[in-house]
Amino acid sequence: MALEAEVQRNPESSEGWRLLGQLYAELDQDVEAIQCLRRGHEVDPYNLDSLLALGVSCTNELDQLPALRYLRMWIENHEEHQVFAQGVEPPAEYEYEAWRHQV
């Protein structure tokens, strides 16, 4: 694939990793999508499209706590929605129910 070649040539391309991850997600290959999207997230932790796609792919894989974390990060960094997270401290990792009710 051209996108795979692109991220091999330019591994610091957050957008390349996001596009490759979204392609895998569209093909219902969420494990591969998550790997690519996480790599892009490492490069640019504020890429809103990557955060949202990570939340969706983790949800598809029933990986609930990471899904909630990524979706919360998306809310916290999105100009239109960050007001919903202001003043609300994230619960401890093991408090899944509290996470679920906040998102």
The range of the structural domain enclosing residue 41 comes to 2-102
96 with 65: CB under 8 angstroms?
A: yes
- pLDDT beyond 80 at 93: no
pLDDT tens, 30-49? 999 999 999 999 999 999 99
- pLDDT beyond 80 at 78: yes
52 with 71: CB under 8 angstroms?
A: yes
Can you give the CATH number for the domain in which 82 is found? 1.25.40.10
Please give the sequence-ordered ranges of beta strands (E in DSSP) within the chain, or none if there are none: none
The amino acid occupying position 77 is N
Q: Write down the mean pLDDT value for the chain.
A: 87
pLDDT tens, 14-33? 999 999 999 999 999 999 99
Q: Structurally, how many domains does the chain consist of? A: 1
